[in-house]
Amino acid sequence: MREKTDALINLAMHLRSVENNHKVTIVDRDDELIIARLDRPGSLYDTLKNIRGREISYAEITHSTTPLPGAAVDLEVQRFEFDIRNEKESLPVEPIDIPLKIRQAVGKTLRARYPDFNFVDFRRIFDLLWCNHPSYVRISPFERIARILWVYQQTRRNNGFFFDVETTAAGEAQRESRVLFGVALPPRKEFLSQVMEVFQRLDIGVRRAYSLTLAMDESPYFLGNFYVRAHTGSLISKASALCKDCRQSFTTPRFWPAAAGPILTFYPTES
């Protein structure tokens, strides 16, 4: 959120209010909502229930690395943008002026991290990402941009659905599991809340998340990176039963409409 100077100033001014309130609204505009609240189980899902009916083009969820002063839990900041473009609005109408430094750095990262990426498609899908969300490209780390391009390509290769789990690198303050998830033709509304319902039902805590809904090629795509840990504190490995349950929840046949293959329709959360 470093590019949001006004939001950061507002957050600093109201930081002490977060402890004694369910939430503090930092930014509330037609195209953007930023909320600060204490990190509690189900806090993100609770927010998403309150913004039902709005089409989310970008969602970013982050937590502080230490507890909020005066509180026993971390600060959670939730940011949402509501600017989904249609396919015509996302098509390049002139040469795309992405800085060469960014193109080269993302390409280098893709080769190192995801060697199976097909570079024949690199310029075209990078241009589409830029047309959909130029600010995401400008401010995101090169690795995050590379990862979202790879998830998109894998989603297309796998008939509109992709699910994978990685583990963050050793040496970070707290290692996390990274759930990578892509789906073509997601529902226009409330899709992210359904995804979060799966994590909540499986007792998986989302520590960070960056998800985009983009008009790519012939249809919209939902592309997400979720940094998670089980509420027991354990990582989620590819071979774990929890990973299998998560993937199965995202691939149950009744989650998908007949028109395009799988899409999610979740079981109700048990109280």
Q: Give the Cα-Cα-Cα angle 245, 65, 12 (nearest 5 degrees).
A: 125
pLDDT tens by residue, 75-91: 999 999 988 766 555 55
Give the number of other Cβ atoms within 10 Å of residue 28's Cβ.
9
The encoded tokens of residue 13 equal: 């001014």
pLDDT tens by residue, 28-61: 998 999 999 888 877 888 888 888 878 899 999 9
Q: Is 164 within 8 Å of 180 (Cβ atoms)? A: yes
pTM for the model stands at 0.84
pLDDT at 252 over 50: yes
Which domains does the chain carry?
Answer: 1-83 (3.30.1360), 84-271 (no CATH)
pLDDT at 182 over 90: yes
> What are the φ and ψ backbone dihedral angles of 30, each rounded to 5 degrees?
-60, -35
Is residue 262 very low, low, confident or very high in pLDDT (cuts 50, 70, 90)? very low
